[in-house]
Chains A and B, each alone.
Chain A
Amino acid sequence: MATDVHRTVTSPAVRVEGLTRSFDGRAVIDNLQLDVRPGEFVALLGRSGCGKSTLLRILAGLDRDIAGTVLVPRRKAVAFQAPRLMPWKKVWRNVLLGLPGKPGREVAEQALTEVGLSHRSDAWPKTLSGGEAQRASLARALVREPDLLLLDEPFGALDALTRIKAQRLVGELWQRRGCAVLLVTHDVEEAVLLADRVLVMDEGVIAYETTVDLDRPRDITDPRFAELRAELLARLGVDTAAEAA
């Protein structure tokens, strides 16, 4: 399996036990269990409103009205669907924002080089294209050297071509860094392309999970890929036979 190249530590990178989160008495997350191994790439699929984004926000520490046990690494980072760069800070200052101590600009430059954005280091966020802004957001997450990287539909707002490039970039960065990744997405193909393990969330729990044992880089024309994709789509309530017709 691909994760074998990374560190194999027995303690998990994420441990969630009996997690419940309610909005006005309605449980959006209902007694959920989840373990993520260090260095594992997990994709979380689900229909909109199934609670997958809420779970990510809880893991990020942004939502604390919870019951249950949630253990996450101290060093974690989030990239949201919108890049959420501070428009009043140049790109490199955005990358360094919130880092402890007073790191020099070269730290930001290094992270920006890693995502191929070093030439825009001195630009205002308003001058970036959608893909560039998302890469800056990734650099801002990576510079924290996270043990857990949380990605909340980071490719959702990108055009189709930019999305393919961004997906590849995330795959490469993950293999280089070896951090655990939780990718929330509604794109089944994306999940099968990138993840070691795909979870389907429904009614507040992990309703289905499957490991993806395909060699990387993965080929979307591989029949096993199509099989996995169809299975996941069926779990999400999409009839693939109808889609093919």
Chain B
Amino acid sequence: MSISHAPPGSSEPDISAKSGPVTSDSATGDAERAAPDLEPIVPSSTRRTRVPRWVRRTSGPLLLLALWQLLSATGVLTADILASPGRIADVGTDLIADGSLGDAMATSLQRVALGLLFGTVIGTGLALVSGLFRVGEDLVDAPVQMLRTVPFVGLIPLFIIWFGIGEAPKVAIITLGVTFPLYLNVYAGIRGVDAQLIEAGESLGLSRWGLVRHVVLPGALPGAMTGLRYSLGIAWLALVFAEQINADSGIGFLMVQARDFLRTDVIVVCLIVYAFLGLLADFVVRTLERLLLQWRPTFTGR
């Protein structure tokens, strides 16, 4: 035992025996204990290859694209099934150049914008009525919860009978899809506002309307933003459904037309446009969140 080898003059053998091997200078001169072999702890950055992360992340999709082009070029993948990436790029440029893609996008965007506008107004309005007033909750919440379970796409035939085949049924279907997620999230947001803050607002002398404006609505904003996100996703989905059933303009119409002529290249271009518009919508919501929710303690985005 190392304790027995402690220097006889030491008044604290326990401490010297313990600290001796640990401290590097080993002032107690404990020769029995051999110095341990040291091995370096290498910083993790030096062990990895120096390929930047974004290169590694983009190489996967690029490889897939190259494989696709290769299969198309060798004739394994015929144009009837799926056009080659090069061909799709050409067609995309043509469609943009002759203005048909621009026109279709404008039409589709207008439908989504109108549907979003109506859906937001209706969904938020209903949520305010049932969130702020108990009478409103009793009257509004149950019917909305029932209607919510009906798949809105199933209503397309009914909407065509009601609204004809113009813009109205398409906007209506998007409106319907947008309304419910907004309603649910704004309602939950209002009801989730901290009761302590409401009480603090009361003690500060806020009127009923002042409480709504300064406490309840800002408190419901995070929920509203979540609802808006869901709504935007559903708006694009509803657009695709609405436009593929008897449309004479818009991206969906372009796709239906391409299907009749077996133009897989045009179809893929349209799909890419849908994806692009979806990304754009997401970007808009993110920007809104960054501007409106910067007060939130949980918000960490930058």
Report the separation of the CA atoms of residues A89 and B197 in the bound assembly, to the nearest whole angstrom: 12
B: number of interface residues (CB 8 Å): 20
A87 located at the interface, meaning its Cβ lies under 8 Å from any Cβ of chain B in the complex: yes
Could you mark each residue 204-245 of chain B with 1 if its beta carbon is under 8 Å from any beta carbon of chain A, else 0?
111000100011001101000000000000000000000000
Contact A78 B206 (CB under 8 A): no
B201 located at the interface, meaning its Cβ lies under 8 Å from any Cβ of chain A in the complex: yes
Contact B204 A140 (CB under 8 A): yes
> Which residues in B have their C-beta under 8 angstroms from that of A97?
201, 204, 206, 214
A84 located at the interface, meaning its Cβ lies under 8 Å from any Cβ of chain B in the complex: yes
B19 located at the interface, meaning its Cβ lies under 8 Å from any Cβ of chain A in the complex: no
B261 located at the interface, meaning its Cβ lies under 8 Å from any Cβ of chain A in the complex: no
Task: Tell me the minimal C-beta distance from B210 to chain A in angstroms.
Answer: 7
Count of inter-chain pairs, beta carbons less than 8 A: 54
Contact A88 B221 (CB under 8 A): yes
Q: Considering only CB atoms, which chain B residue lies closest to A60 in the complex?
A: B203
> Which residues in B have their C-beta under 8 angstroms from that of A25?
none
Task: Tell me the minimal C-beta distance from B105 to chain A in angstroms.
Answer: 36
B184-212 interface with A by 8 A CB criterion: 196-197, 199-206, 210
* Given A61-B203, A98-B204, A84 contacting B295 (CB threshold 8 A): no
B110 located at the interface, meaning its Cβ lies under 8 Å from any Cβ of chain A in the complex: no
> Which residues in A have their C-beta under 8 angstroms from that of B204?
77, 97-98, 140, 144
Report the separation of the CA atoms of residues A60 and B206 in the bound assembly, to the nearest whole angstrom: 13
A37-69 interface with B by 8 A CB criterion: 60-62
A: number of interface residues (CB 8 Å): 21
Task: Tell me the minimal C-beta distance from B188 to chain A in angstroms.
Answer: 17
Task: Tell me the minimal C-beta distance from A197 to chain B in angstroms.
Answer: 24
- Which of B196, B200, B221, B294: most chain A CB closer than 10 A? B200
> Which residues in A have their C-beta under 8 angstroms from that of B295?
87-89, 124-126
B297 located at the interface, meaning its Cβ lies under 8 Å from any Cβ of chain A in the complex: yes
* Given A82-B196, A97-B214, A98-B210, A87 contacting B296 (CB threshold 8 A): yes
A80 located at the interface, meaning its Cβ lies under 8 Å from any Cβ of chain B in the complex: yes
Task: Tell me the minimal C-beta distance from B289 to chain A in angstroms.
Answer: 13
A86 located at the interface, meaning its Cβ lies under 8 Å from any Cβ of chain B in the complex: yes
Report the separation of the CA atoms of residues A124 and B205 in the bound assembly, to the nearest whole angstrom: 22
> Which residues in A have their C-beta under 8 angstroms from that of B210?
98
Task: Tell me the minimal C-beta distance from B187 to chain A in angstroms.
Answer: 19
> Which residues in B have their C-beta under 8 angstroms from that of A77?
203-204
Partner of A86, one of B197, B203, B296, B297: B197
> Which residues in B have their C-beta under 8 angstroms from that of A126?
295-297
> Which residues in A have their C-beta under 8 angstroms from that of B199?
62, 84
A126-180 interface with B by 8 A CB criterion: 126, 140, 144
Report the separation of the CA atoms of residues A138 and B100 in the bound assembly, to the nearest whole angstrom: 64
Could you mark each residue 282-302 of chain B with 1 if its beta carbon is under 8 Å from any beta carbon of chain A, else 0?
000000000000111100000
Report the separation of the CA atoms of residues A146 and B84 in the bound assembly, to the nearest whole angstrom: 77
Given contacts A98-B214, A126-B296, 5 further A-B contacts (CB under 8 A): A77-B204, A88-B219, A88-B295, A97-B204, A124-B295
